[in-house]
Amino acid sequence: MRPATLITGASSGIGAELARVFAAHGDELVLVARREADLSALASEIAASGGKQPTVLALDLGRGDAVARIAAELAARDLEPANVVNNAGFGLAGSSAALDRDEQLAMIDLNIRALTALSLAFSDSLVRHRGGILNVASIAGFLPGPGMAVYYASKAFVLSFSEALYAELKPRGVRVTTLCPGPVATGFQSRAGLRPGGIGEGSIFALPARRVAEIGYAGFVRGKRVVIAGTGNKLAVFFMRFVPHALLLPIVAYGMRRAGRV
């Protein structure tokens, strides 16, 4: 079977840029997201630029049978993952008690359950190809987030789970890297209910999606455990260690109130 790099949430933002970066380095791609038209346009762009024609799988990762469907589609095309890039996810801004509970549970399904399932589903092929897993978390995973409580908690899970998986799979020759970007101008903000530029965009913490993808890819290839994108974000995470949560909580809450509809 041919090795491929599976990328979720590949229709836009960081996911689309990761697809372009992996393709530029010769990987055959399997692009997964709900928006088929956007995936097809990206696949055509990659092929036109000299990359291998990507496979497009338009499906909802929130479905319970999503991983089984992906596995079946890959097998039918004589493909198996050498790398898995879990980028799909979304956030919701607001008080958890006021936000729609079903939407918040759907966030957990996508940000946590689907990522976990895909991280574990193809371990045999990852070992065979000495490939790896690149899980996209956030600097939000390093602290509690009143105003986006479930989202921050979901990224804390991604960070903790991926670091543990790094230790478990490294002896088998499989890389596991967690990419932690800060603010990036993508469709994430509008989906979350944040005003444009509300979370640090235009600041020293913000990077374009392409740069985040390049940093993430470089760290993944080197086998780094955690990659924090951008000097400003590295400094922020470093200093967070010395700030008690009793002080962090109101700071984050204030920032969220300024950023959106909290």
Give the active site residues.
151
Task: Return the closest-CA partner of residue 10 out of 65, 83, 68, 113.
Answer: 83
Q: What does DSSP say about strands 79-86 and 55-58: parallel, antiparallel, or unpaired?
A: unpaired
CA distance 257 to 250: 10
Read out DSSP for the chain?
A: -EEEEEEESTTSHHHHHHHHHHHHTT--EEEEES-HHHHHHHHHHHHHTT----EEEE--TTSTTHHHHHHHHHHHTTEEEEEEEE-------S-TTTS-HHHHHHHHIIIIIIHHHHHHHTHHHHHHTT-EEEEE--GGGGS--TTSHHHHHHHHHHHHHHHHHHHHHGGGT-EEEEEE-----STHHHHHTBPTT-SSTTSTT---HHHHHHHHHHHHHTT-SEEE-SHHHHHHHHHHTTS-HHHHHHHHHHHHHHHB--
